[in-house]
Structure formats: C-alpha cells, structure tokens
Amino acid sequence: NAGVMQNPRHLVRRRGQEARLRCSPMKGHSHVYWYRQLPEEGLKFMVYLQKENIIDESGMPKERFSAEFPKEGPSILRIQQVVRGDSAAYFCASSPQQGSGNTIYFGEGSWLTVV
C-alpha cells in the first residue's frame, strides 16, 4: 500500500513563475491536507479538501495560492507569481475518513526554492 505520494520532490522557480505541487493520497483516503513548513519552523496548516470540495482554507494566503482535489487525479497546490518568501517545504497529508483523532499520513514533501 503506497503512502502519500508527492511530486516533484524538489522544484526551483524564478520569481514570477508558477509552481504546481501534486499529491496523491493513500489508497482509500478521501481527505487531503496541505501544510507548509518554513525553514527551522513547524508545519502550518494551509487547506483541507475532500474530492471536489474545499472544506477549510483558513490557512491559505489570500492571493496567489489555490488548491484543488478533483474527482479524478491528484490534489494540486498551485502558487502563482512566486516570490522568495514562498520558498518552503510543502507537505501533503491524507486520512481515510472524517473525524478528529484519526491519524493523518504525511508525504515526503515538495521543497520549493524561489530564486
């Protein structure tokens, strides 16, 4: 049973370009979460999605960031017009069902570097 798969693992973008990060949840998991980790910091919640629905995006920056989890295919975190401050590790996690207290499983992360 493959774990949460994220790609690319490392991504370099110039300022102003777009970054697209993909996440395939574990098999059977229909809940996806995105977290961001700045250097030397803990993870910060960004968004929680179910298939075709954004449930909680309270941690998403108001501009340039968007996320989707289509009926078919991986979840996508999209960052438009990247700036240096977007450089971070972006982690996706998934869980099998709704309900607080369920363990969520993290992927290996996508490291974005903006030059």
Partner 1 sequence: SQQGEEDPQALSIQEGENATMNCSYKTSINNLQWYRQNSGRGLVHLILIRSNEREKHSGRLRVTLDTSKKSSSLLITASRAADTASYFCATDLRTGTASKLTFGTGTRLQVTL
Distance CA 95, CA 49 (A): 11
Distance CA 37, CA 49 (A): 19
**38: helix, strand or coil:** coil
Residue from 44, 61, 81, 83 in contact with partner 1 (CB under 8 A): 44
Cβ contact 7:108 at 8 Å: no
Is residue 57 part of the contact set for partner 1 (CB under 8 A)?
no
Distance CA 101, CA 109 (A): 22
Binding map of partner 1 across residues 6-35, x = CB under 8 A, - = no contact: -------------------------x-x-x
Binding map of partner 1 across residues 69-88, x = CB under 8 A, - = no contact: --------------------
- Residues near partner 1 (CB under 8 A) are 4, 31, 33, 35, 40-45, 48, 55-56, 91, 95, 98-109, 111
